[in-house]
Amino acid sequence: MKTPGYINRNGQQLLRATDERGTDHNARIWILKCRNCLNIYGSNSTDAFERKCPKCQSGKPGLPVPIERDGQDWTHEEHLIAFQLYSRIPFGTIHMRNPLLIELAALLGRKIGSASRKLANFSRLDPVHQARGVLGQEPKDTTEWLTRFDGQRLILPKKFAPSSEFLEKHAAKCRAKAC
């Protein structure tokens, strides 16, 4: 059994081993990511070691990426993981074709649209967006700026909170209406 991070001889990286049945005898679906083109696809666990990317290496078509958690409430931990991504990418790149969002969805077992909506929802509570046009204005307490997200109590540890550098860049972009 390989662990996430394993890279096969064709540069295909294991993102997550799922419990979903594959199409080979006794196979499970493993989610692979191509290190060349960032394509994400499902593979049988049995042939993951020799898989080639369906997009850039003429490998056979991928299996569907499982979305086991679709429809289930987002956990506190999932919110934190999604928020980490939110705080790293420009607002204008929150869309369903962003490879980082596609990877987030694959890691969490959720639909890409659901992951994309989650990040877009963060922006509605983002003090930078609420105070559009005010450069460098930081929330008073960055550890609690999303505490009522989705009606859940969500306290972000400092390490997950956006840096003042991020907030400043973010605000500058919004002022320039680039986000």
Interface ranges with Zn ion (CB under 5 A):
34, 36-37, 39, 53, 55-56
Q: Which lies closer to Zn ion via its Cβ, residue 63 or residue 156? A: 63
Q: Which lies closer to Zn ion via its Cβ, residue 41 or residue 145? A: 41
Q: Which lies closer to Zn ion via its Cβ, residue 35 or residue 173? A: 35
Of 50, 41, 3, 2, the C-alpha closest to 22 is: 41
The residue with tokens 């991504």 is 85
What is the H or E stretch that residue 165 is in? helix 164-175
> How far, in Å, CA of 104 to CA of 83, rounded?
11
> How far, in Å, CA of 11 to CA of 148, rounded?
42
Q: Which lies closer to Zn ion via its Cβ, residue 39 or residue 43? A: 39
Minimum distance, C-beta of residue 20 to Zn ion, in the bound complex (Å):
22
Of 59, 156, 160, 74, the C-alpha closest to 109 is: 74
Q: Which lies closer to Zn ion via its Cβ, residue 41 or residue 74? A: 41
Minimum distance, C-beta of residue 90 to Zn ion, in the bound complex (Å):
24
Minimum distance, C-beta of residue 15 to Zn ion, in the bound complex (Å):
14
Minimum distance, C-beta of residue 53 to Zn ion, in the bound complex (Å):
3
Minimum distance, C-beta of residue 10 to Zn ion, in the bound complex (Å):
9
Instruction: Determine contact, residues 33/72, Cβ cutoff 8 Å.
Output: no
> How far, in Å, CA of 37 to CA of 72, rounded?
31
Instruction: Report the amino acid identity of residue 64.
Output: P
